[in-house]
Amino acid sequence: VILLHIPFFSMPVVCTLTNVIHNLAMYVFLHTVKGTPFETPGQGKSQLLTHWEQMDFRLQFTSSRKFLSISPIVLYLLASFYTKYDAAYFLNTASLLSILLPKLPQLHGVHLFGINKY
Amino acid sequence: MATAAEQWVLVEMVQALYEAPAYHLILEGILILWIIRLLFSKTYKLQERSDLTVKEKEELIEEWQPEPLVPPISKDHPALNYNIVSGPPSHNIVVNGKKCVNFASFNFLGLLDNPRVKAAALASLKKYGVGTCGPRGFYGTFDVHLDLEDRLAKFMKTEEAIIYSYGFATIASAIPAYSKRGDIVFVDRAACFAIQKGLQASRSDIKLFKHNDMADLERLLKEQEMEDQKNPRKARVTRRFIVAEGLYMNTGTICPLPELVKLKYKYKARIFLEESLSFGVLGEHGRGVTEHFGISIDDIDLISANMENSLASIGGFCCGRSFVIDHQRLSGQGYCFSASLPPLLAAAAIEALNIMEENPGIFSVLKEKCKRIHKALQGISGLKVVGESLSPAFHLQLKDSTGSREKDVKLLQEIVNHCMDRSIALTQARYLEKEEKCLPPPSIRVVVTVEQTDEELERAARTIKEVAQAVLL
């Protein structure tokens, strides 16, 4: 993730890009794809749940979940520090919010507008 | 030089930090507070705890009475008075020391005592030993298994077949491999116990339709279609199955397969056919109910059968297209997690298949005998014959039931005992009364095999008639 230093963008753009790409990837893998890529026993119990909902047997606030919630926040703080709070700032904020909201326990199993329900 | 440049950038950064807009600092403060809250929050489960107070819990604990480990049962429970068979259950069976003609074992083609089958099994015993000591994935696959799978696939004219080591487990593992939670299965009310257990293990929604009643099935399918139209996204993800038996063990009737296939294509469901009793019985070459009705085998998605009846071996097989059967190699629980079929039984099954392929005349002989005894048993006072004339395993039920199942069972048991005294071995159809979904009425099950001669059939019909007269009047 931090290897985006290699291309010859300037530092602020790099940080924004890292933040945004990391949040996008996390959203797709944890909150969009449902079920499991391998066969599980339990006759399809987890067929309709995203990886985030299935993690740790649906217990909230376990250590893995806490780590994965805190890492985008840390990235956001770093990114906003390095971009000196300029125009791309709102992009960073929006992407942070979009990755923090699905992790709330209130949103467990909630599908807005029926997208991705089945 | 680089470090100086970096440091200068850092200084600029820190400067910018001081000039940061106010809302950003507030946001950062909120985020830091959020991090602290996350770090200190405990894990909890989402499902709500039960709202029982301590007092209610105590009350419940005090009310509980332990049930005895062995519940009291009556002295003449059938499991306590069983008949002891010495010797093989072939054409002449020795029950409790008395030699009888066997009208109770499902030995339809008489292959149980066949010297060729026995010789093949003995040769295989000498070569491989007795058991396989391992599941198929763990050094339990022998060449006889692959041979048998090949032969069965060729015999049934499908692409592939898969062997299970226990007949009951065949259909009970095949159904949960395909049908999961949220899928819908339409099944007949008279389905056998193995199918019921398979459906229970699959956790899918089960819709029962009346036995062999295609109008009822169509009604259920139409209802499901209307529900699907209300919620098309859910419908795209749910799978629909129809499970039917070729020759029902509980009633002796044949399923109306052409109509089932029509319904399948109309309502887009998949058919699983369970051919335990019809494999080796129906059809010109014994291929089962698909050959009997002349339907192409590609219309049926999965055929599952039990080798314990006609093939006189143990175990079961499923056959169908490769794409379907291959899935069971990893997700059929009875395939992956139990030891494979002992090679001597597999060799016996191969030899039995050879015999079946060599003389296809035995199937018509069997059909003749079935028709004959069916006709001979009509018109017994007090008993009615349940089952088609083509079915070699049919039931004799009481015409007017006495009202209580136990009394019926006792009456039928008397008839069976008298018949056994006159050296005709019959049995009652036994069910686990508490576990079956739709318990069939008590009945005597009569089985016709190829080995019974015509005069034995006549004698049996006469005996049953006389005994029924004596007992029921």
Decide if pLDDT at B88 tops 80: yes
* pLDDT at res. B437: 84
Instruction: Look up tokens 């602020």; give the residue.
Output: A12
Name the 3-class secondary structure at B319. Answer: strand
* Chain B residues within 8 angstroms (CB to CB) of chain A: 9, 12-13, 16-17, 20-21, 24, 27-28, 31, 34-35, 38-39, 41-46, 176, 180-183, 201-204, 233-234, 236-237, 330-331
* pLDDT at res. B38: 77
Which has the higher per-residue pLDDT, B396 or B233? B396
How many residue pairs bridge chain A and chain B with CB atoms within 8 Å of each other?
72
Band (A50; pLDDT cuts 50, 70, 90): confident
Q: What is the ipTM of this complex?
A: 0.77
pLDDT tens column, B177-215? 998 888 999 999 989 999 999 999 998 999 999 998 999
pLDDT tens column, B116-138? 999 999 999 999 999 888 899 88
Query: Measured between alpha carbons, how far is B468 from B443 in angstroms, rounded to an integer?
Result: 13
What are residue B135's DSSP bridge partners? B339
Measured between CA atoms, the residue of chain A closest to residue B28 is A77
Which chain A residues have a beta carbon less than 8 Å from that of B9? 11
Q: Which of B280, B255, B250 is nearest to B449 (CA)?
A: B280
Decide if pLDDT at B306 tops 60: yes
Quick one: what percent of chain A has pLDDT higher than 70?
81
Q: What is the mean pLDDT of chain B?
A: 87
Query: Measured between alpha carbons, how far is B127 from B121 in angstroms, rounded to an integer?
Result: 10
Instruction: Look up tokens 């071995």; give the residue.
Output: B425
Decide if pLDDT at B62 tops 80: yes
Nearest to A81 among B17, B35, B330 (CB): B17
Whole-model pTM: value is 0.84
Contact B45 A66 (CB under 8 A): no
Alpha-carbon distance A66 to nearest alpha carbon in chain B (angstroms): 6
CA distances from B301 to B158, B159, B163, B274, B291 (A): 10, 11, 17, 11, 15
Band (A110; pLDDT cuts 50, 70, 90): confident
* pLDDT at res. B166: 92
Decide if pLDDT at B2 tops 60: no
Query: Measured between alpha carbons, how far is B248 from B193 in angstroms, rounded to an integer?
Result: 11
Instruction: Find the mean pLDDT for residues B283-302.
Output: 90
Lowest mean pLDDT among B74-78, B180-184, B345-349: B74-78
- Asked if B202 contacts B211 with a C-beta cutoff of 8 angstroms, the reply is no
- Asked if B124 contacts B332 with a C-beta cutoff of 8 angstroms, the reply is no
